[in-house]
Amino acid sequence: MADEEYIKAKYQALSYGNEQFDKNVLFIASGALGISFGFIEKVVPNLASAVNKHFLIDSWYCFAGVIFISLVAHFISILANRWAIVNDDMEDAKYNRISGRWNIGIRALNIFMILGLFFGVILLVLFVKQNI
């Protein structure tokens, strides 16, 4: 009985961690996108004369891409959970093989979100640094 409770607690911790990761990535990307609009207006009032505007625009693409990928990852996670519920009685080896594919897809999307945030912030900082 204690082992089952321990396993259940580990799964709850994992689920909570995943939920917080998704929320934080979405919050950071959305916030960075929104703040960059207002911040740029204050720091670079004449955007027409700014240098390397492509850094700013590319950072916006990165942030928007992260938001979109986050939504896709959430949707895939929902599909994976529905699949797991429906196929609960599948033989273990086959179930593990297929569920592993779902997990690889979601992990790949998570990595893309992290990279998108990283590059978006770097591009935004480069733009601001060159225009203040």
- Considering the entire predicted model, what is its pTM? 0.81
Closest by Cα among 65, 63, 53 to 126: 53
Closest by Cα among 79, 71, 66 to 25: 66
> Is residue 3 over pLDDT 90?
no
Task: Give residue 2's pLDDT.
Answer: 64
Q: Give the pLDDT confidence of 76-128 residue by residue, as tens digits.
A: 888 888 887 788 777 777 777 787 888 898 899 999 999 999 999 999 999 98
Cα 87 from Cα 37, distance rounded (Å): 46
Burial of 69 (0-12, 13-18, 19+ CB in 10 A): buried
Q: Give the pLDDT confidence of 42-58 residue by residue, as tens digits.
A: 888 888 888 999 999 99
Contact 61, 119 (CB under 8 A): no
Q: What's CA 11's distance to the chain center, in Å?
A: 21
Task: Kindly list the domain boundaries of the chain, sorted by start residue.
Answer: 2-131
